[in-house]
Homo-oligomer: A and B are copies of this chain.
Amino acid sequence: MNLNLGNVSNALIGKSLKTEELKGEKFNVFWGLPIMSSDAISSVAYAGEEILLILMPVMGLLSYRYMLYASLCIIFLLFMLIFSYRQTIDAYPGGGGSYIVATDNLGTTAGLVAGASLIIDYILTVAVSASAGTAAITSAIPSLLPHTVTITLVLITLLVIGNLKGIRESSKVFGVPTYIFIFLILVMLIWGIIKINFMGYVPKSSYKIPDVSGTITIFLFLKAFAAGCTALTGVEAVSNGVPNFREPSQKNAKIVLMLLAFIVLLMFGGISYLATLYHAVPNSNVTVVAQISWQVFNGGVLFYIIQAATAIILVMACNTAFAGLPLLLALMAKDGYAPRQFAKRGKRLNYSNGIIMLGLLAAILVIIFKGDTHYLLGLYAVGVFISFTLSQCGMFKRWTKIKINGWKHKAFINGLGGVLTFVTTIIIGVTRFTRGAWVVFILIPIIVYTMEKIKRHYLKVAQQLRLSMDELRKYEKVSFEGQKRYVIVPIDTLNKSFLKALNYARTISENIIIFHVSVDDEVTNKLLKKWNEYNIGIPIIVKKSPYRSIIKPLAKFIDSEEYAAGPKDTITVVLPQFVVTKWWGNILHNQTALLIKTILLKRRNIAIVTVPYIIDEN
């Protein structure tokens, strides 16, 4: 089976890569931009709509004005973040995610809170974006609607496979649609503005704009602002992923970050402006972007291409999480806060365990919520802003401590960033608390607690395994001359496999006990008869087991022997195990040997010897 699985794995993922090939697996600016920022870029497809959705029922036609205000606030926040993160990239060439920055400057707990927040948001990104992408597909082809969950799961599976293949290949696979999306939205913006301002097109909204039913309140505006802040998720990924860039990686990352800012500025601002020009009204059937592009392109072929590109980029947005989360988990695992397996590079040199875990958890969320993004959106974005805040505060504290040249300017930028992101976190937390944000506030402490527990575990293990020079000197004097060796060989049937084990036992000791657990009198009598007939000269100990358990009587016997042997002697248990060459063969045998091993391993003075007997099936 190993061979077969290996072949399947090669076909899907590609051949193993050598550790030295690590350097080749990195992106330049051209491919780094789409793969690191598809999350941020794709969110322009819905961020403006989210704002209008909050404002429209109350403010009617006036919504467009306040939408522009909110968009400007968000773009301002974006640029503050970009400037802040450029400083982070300079300071942390090894990847300056919130986890590192917060740990480094604010202490472990802050770092873990930042890490936990990001983990939650990365998983949500995949679940939300894949579901939204599916929704875009099923809106275009309604006959696929009953298969929403299946399609979403297939998409996630494809993403997992693509990411397991490796960074460079996946950037090419996933980068192209991002460029197509950017290009098409820009075409729409330019043509849309020309059409109205120079060609005298009179926009006709297909949906009625509600009447103004209230006045603008601060809370309403903040709610709209908070809704639009989903556009900012994903910025973290670039500075977290500095080592993923080709040398000079810091410079490349900073270029990508700046390009990202301008693209989001252009697209988010542009779509907000077009929404105003074309009087788009959010509703559950047709997206705002679709309403605009329908009018701009007269429902022509470009409309359909834009819809398709939107669907694709929403799925691609998941990829930011696939690039970010495994790296974050690897960092945390190296520090001992996450299971060690996340720090291990897979055959294609990426952190395959993180990729698979992300895919699995997102798939579970999709199954639980039946691919409905509505419930998931409430939990979204809080996590990212908590980590933003911690990262900015960490950077601020760093500058005030190390006081390098121009530290005041740097501290001002990060300090302002910290205040703004903190305020935004509060705004998002409050306006979305009942919509699901409360779950995040419960999950973060649980995750942090678990991570600290994991760390304690690793520490304890390391402490107990550590060797001092003294202990080693003691070891050198150990003599094995007078030591008795107790060897127990359990027997079930007198066959070749048992005999091979007994042979082996005889090579290491002359002090052998054969032990038989009797669950069936008939079988035991047959065995004893055969045993006596064959006259091997080693006594057999028989123990009855009324509850049919093989392991309990054996464990009990070993415990009593262990007691008799004294604390210094090791008891060796030799287990005959026949090995079948075909993988399905193992299903056909009671895996008693395995169970015995698991139980016995918990004893201190024991050594378990497995003597395989190969069954040839050809």
The chain A residues found within 8 Å of chain B, CB to CB, are 16-20, 339-341, 344-345, 347, 454, 457-458, 460-461, 464-467, 469, 471-472, 475-476, 478, 480, 483, 485, 493-497, 499, 503-504, 506-508, 519, 534, 536, 546-548, 570, 572, 574, 577-582, 585, 587-590, 597, 601-604, 606-617
Report yes or no: A471 in contact with B458, Cβ–Cβ below 8 A. no
Report yes or no: A597 in contact with B614, Cβ–Cβ below 8 A. no
How many Å lie between the Cα of A607 and that of B506 in the bound state? 13
Contacts of A476 in B (CB 8 A): 536
Q: Can you give 26 A-B contacts (C-beta < 8 A)?
A: A341-B590, A344-B590, A345-B548, A454-B588, A457-B585, A457-B617, A460-B616, A460-B617, A461-B585, A461-B615, A464-B496, A465-B495, A465-B613, A466-B495, A467-B496, A467-B499, A471-B499, A472-B534, A472-B536, A483-B507, A507-B570, A572-B609, A601-B610, A607-B610, A608-B609, A608-B610
How many Å lie between the Cα of A499 and that of B562 in the bound state? 21
How many Å lie between the Cα of A577 and that of B465 in the bound state? 11
Closest beta carbon of chain B to A502's beta carbon, Å = 8
Contacts of A547 in B (CB 8 A): 16-19, 347
Contacts of A495 in B (CB 8 A): 465-467
Report yes or no: A614 in contact with B590, Cβ–Cβ below 8 A. no
Report yes or no: B609 in contact with A609, Cβ–Cβ below 8 A. yes
Report yes or no: B612 in contact with A601, Cβ–Cβ below 8 A. yes
Chain B residue at smallest Cβ distance from A505: B607
Contacts of A341 in B (CB 8 A): 590
Chain B residue at smallest Cβ distance from A496: B465
Closest beta carbon of chain B to A567's beta carbon, Å = 13
Contacts of A582 in B (CB 8 A): 457
Contacts of A472 in B (CB 8 A): 499, 534, 536
Report yes or no: B497 in contact with A465, Cβ–Cβ below 8 A. yes
- Give which listed residue, B345, B458, B478, B485, contacts A588 with CB less than 8 A: B458
Q: Which 3 A-B pairs have the closest CB atoms?
A: A465-B495, A18-B546, A601-B612
Contacts of A572 in B (CB 8 A): 609
Given A347-B547, A604-B612: 5 more A-B contacts, CB < 8 Å: A460-B617, A475-B503, A478-B503, A480-B507, A485-B507
Report yes or no: A607 in contact with B496, Cβ–Cβ below 8 A. no
Closest beta carbon of chain B to A500's beta carbon, Å = 9
- Give which listed residue, B475, B480, B499, B607, contacts A499 with CB less than 8 A: B475
Report yes or no: A601 in contact with B616, Cβ–Cβ below 8 A. no
Report yes or no: B601 in contact with A20, Cβ–Cβ below 8 A. no
Contacts of A339 in B (CB 8 A): 587-588
Closest beta carbon of chain B to A369's beta carbon, Å = 14
Contacts of A345 in B (CB 8 A): 548
Report yes or no: A610 in contact with B610, Cβ–Cβ below 8 A. yes
| Known A464-B496, A465-B493, A483-B507; contact A588-B340, beta-carbon cutoff 8 A | yes
Give the interface centre of A340, A597, A612 by most chain B CB atoms within 10 Å.
Answer: A612
